[in-house]
Chain A
Amino acid sequence: MLLIECPYCGPRDETEYHYGGEAHVPYPEDPFELSDREWAEYLFYRNNPKGLLKERWVHTVGCRRWFNVVRDTASYEITAVYRMGENAPQPGGQ
């Protein structure tokens, strides 16, 4: 069971959250300009690293707000938590 620190409510069990997949996947700026290949990338292709992944979680039974997490998919260690609209902290940075 993961212990996830909601940026609004503090640390809570994984069961209070739902997973939202990879973070920072922007909606296409001009959907009409996209090729089929680019649509496929947007709809079906997500990073799937063995290592650090930036991902979204929502605190379903708490504040119900979305936020971002940087988590290692092999060790499951959470290295950063930050709010929507913020940039991911640089590893080793402030």
Chain B
Amino acid sequence: MADLLPEHPDFLWHNPDPKPSYDAVVVGGGGHGLATAYYLAKNHGITNVAVLERGWLAGGNMARNTTIIRSNYLWDESAAMYEHSLKLWEGLPEELEYDFLFSQRGVMNLAHTLGDVRESVRRVNANKLNGIDAEWIDPQQVKELCPIINIQDDLRYPVMGATYQPRAGIAKHDHVAWAFARRCDEMGVDIIQNCEVTGFVKDGDRVVGVETSRGRISTGKVGLCAAGHSSVLAELAGFRLPIQSHPLQALVSELHEEVHPTVVMSNHVHVYVSQAHKGELVMGAGVDAYNGYGQRGAFHVIEEQMAAAVELFPVFARAHVLRTWGGIVDITLDASPIVSKTPVDQMYVNCGWGTGGFKGTPGAGWSFAHTIATDEPHALNEPFCLERFETGVLIDEHGAAAVAH
């Protein structure tokens, strides 16, 4: 019987045992960790790098997000970061020689109240000033772009228009991780799964090693990319982070023929919907209110999200939910990420991306790798430092970011 089976396809990466020492260790083998290792190798020539993953590669938020990619953020600092990320997305399939189904099908953010309309138009204008493609479209144009949406005025929150970013879209999340992992592996990065970090070795204020479930690893530099578990790692390293971990839920329907050609997000009724290449309707909710590391949330959050989705898309009423799940998102109080040096010398942290980390994957990796390699922030992530919580120079994207983070 075994003779009849085809050969196993080539592995995209190897699973080496950890070496005793590396130039840099990245903690977290999700999208951000892999992108960081990739740009450490590609942009800075640092290839003696280990990516340590507690579970399996890209099994955390990288496996749980709704894959939306856009850059239509209000504030200059965010616009710069996310637009840089979007430009990287546009080149990555060719650069990584991996078609991870990046589809620039556009993203619209609906407005349902007069306040929404004013905020949205303001954001479109801000985006244009930052060179980001953005336009304000009226309900009829919304309907033309997405015929299944209900723009009648009998809704509790009727569609009063939308912002539209044509270059935005979706990608196949786990293929993105595999594409980065394959190229990292080719460049000499060790991807080490089932390797939990249990402590840090310090010499004074400087980190010199990592204690793991697979032994001690010496290293000159440590980059933390652990999203919802960042606080746990920071505590092991002896400092605190201004983040709170919350469950964030999402779900997919069973497979359907293509009915939804773009991505629709609504902040006001809080749901975001796209249709994956396979045909599932992919929907995300808001965070559960309480702190949680459980990778699960409450059903009433899903119920509210479904009610919003069915009101906006009456055709969804007879679709069935196939699967729901939760991830652990790390929320800062200004809803912007932290890509920064830390109180520990040679230790760096990339966290706080909250509910919007997937789109930032390449931009985070690019700027975080620069920070790790040079011990200085890149111009892109300088505003996203930890010190902003002391100086008060916050980047307040709550609401301003098109959806609540």
Interface residues of A (CB under 8 A from B): 1-2, 14-15, 18-19, 21, 36-37, 39-40, 43-46, 48-50, 53, 55, 71, 73-76
Whether B293 and A50, one on each chain, are in contact in the complex, defined by CB atoms closer than 8 angstroms, is yes
Residues of A within 8 Å of B333, CB to CB, are 43-44
Task: Out of A36, A71, A74, name the residue touching B391 (CB < 8 Å).
Answer: A36
Whether A73 and B300, one on each chain, are in contact in the complex, defined by CB atoms closer than 8 angstroms, is no
Residue ID in chain A nearest B300 by CB atoms: A15
Residues of B within 8 Å of A1, CB to CB, are 298-300
Residues of B within 8 Å of A19, CB to CB, are 289-290
Whether B290 and A40, one on each chain, are in contact in the complex, defined by CB atoms closer than 8 angstroms, is no
How many of chain B's residues touch chain A, expressed as a range?
Answer: 20 to 34
Judge if B292 is at the interface, Cβ distance under 8 Å: yes
Please name 21 pairs of A and B residues whose Cβ atoms are closer than 8 Å in the assembled complex, sorted by A. A14-B298, A14-B300, A21-B291, A40-B389, A40-B390, A43-B333, A44-B242, A44-B332, A44-B389, A45-B240, A45-B242, A46-B242, A46-B244, A48-B241, A48-B243, A49-B231, A71-B290, A73-B292, A74-B293, A75-B294, A76-B294
CA distance A37 to B245 in the complex (A): 22
Residues of B within 8 Å of A55, CB to CB, are 290-291
Residues of B within 8 Å of A14, CB to CB, are 298, 300
Residue ID in chain B nearest A57 by CB atoms: B290
CA distance A73 to B295 in the complex (A): 10
Residues of B within 8 Å of A50, CB to CB, are 229, 231-232, 245, 293
Whether A73 and B294, one on each chain, are in contact in the complex, defined by CB atoms closer than 8 angstroms, is yes
CA distance A18 to B298 in the complex (A): 14
Residue ID in chain A nearest B229 by CB atoms: A50
- Shortest Cβ gap from B53 to chain A (Å): 17
A sample of 19 more A-B contacts (CB under 8 A), given A40-B242, A55-B291, A73-B292, is A1-B300, A2-B290, A14-B298, A19-B289, A36-B390, A40-B389, A43-B389, A44-B332, A44-B333, A45-B241, A45-B389, A46-B244, A48-B231, A48-B241, A48-B243, A48-B244, A73-B245, A73-B290, A73-B293
CA distance A48 to B390 in the complex (A): 19
- Shortest Cβ gap from B349 to chain A (Å): 13
- Shortest Cβ gap from B2 to chain A (Å): 42
- Shortest Cβ gap from B135 to chain A (Å): 35
Residues of B within 8 Å of A75, CB to CB, are 294
Residues of B within 8 Å of A2, CB to CB, are 290, 298
CA distance A15 to B244 in the complex (A): 21
Residue ID in chain A nearest B299 by CB atoms: A1
CA distance A74 to B293 in the complex (A): 5
- Shortest Cβ gap from B300 to chain A (Å): 5
Whether B298 and A37, one on each chain, are in contact in the complex, defined by CB atoms closer than 8 angstroms, is no
Residues of B within 8 Å of A21, CB to CB, are 244, 291
Residue ID in chain A nearest B298 by CB atoms: A1
Interface bits B231-248 vs A (CB < 8 Å: 1, else 0): 110010000111111000
CA distance A37 to B235 in the complex (A): 18
CA distance A9 to B192 in the complex (A): 51
- Shortest Cβ gap from A43 to chain B (Å): 8
CA distance A27 to B299 in the complex (A): 35
CA distance A19 to B290 in the complex (A): 6
- Shortest Cβ gap from A64 to chain B (Å): 17
Residues of B within 8 Å of A37, CB to CB, are 390
Interface bits B281-294 vs A (CB < 8 Å: 1, else 0): 00000000111111
Residues of A within 8 Å of B241, CB to CB, are 45, 48
Question: Contacts A14-B300, A37-B390, A44-B389; is A74 near B291 (CB within 8 Å)?
Answer: no
Whether B298 and A53, one on each chain, are in contact in the complex, defined by CB atoms closer than 8 angstroms, is no
Task: Out of A36, A40, A45, A73, name the residue touching B291 (CB < 8 Å).
Answer: A73
CA distance A71 to B232 in the complex (A): 17
Nearest 7 pairs between A and B by C-beta? A48-B231, A19-B289, A44-B242, A40-B390, A40-B389, A44-B389, A50-B293
- Shortest Cβ gap from A73 to chain B (Å): 5
CA distance A43 to B392 in the complex (A): 10
Residues of B within 8 Å of A44, CB to CB, are 242, 332-333, 389
CA distance A48 to B291 in the complex (A): 7
Residue ID in chain B nearest A36 by CB atoms: B390
CA distance A2 to B294 in the complex (A): 13
Q: State which residues 381-405 of B face A: CB under 8 Å.
A: 389-392
- Shortest Cβ gap from A90 to chain B (Å): 22
Residues of A within 8 Å of B290, CB to CB, are 2, 19, 55, 71, 73
CA distance A55 to B242 in the complex (A): 17
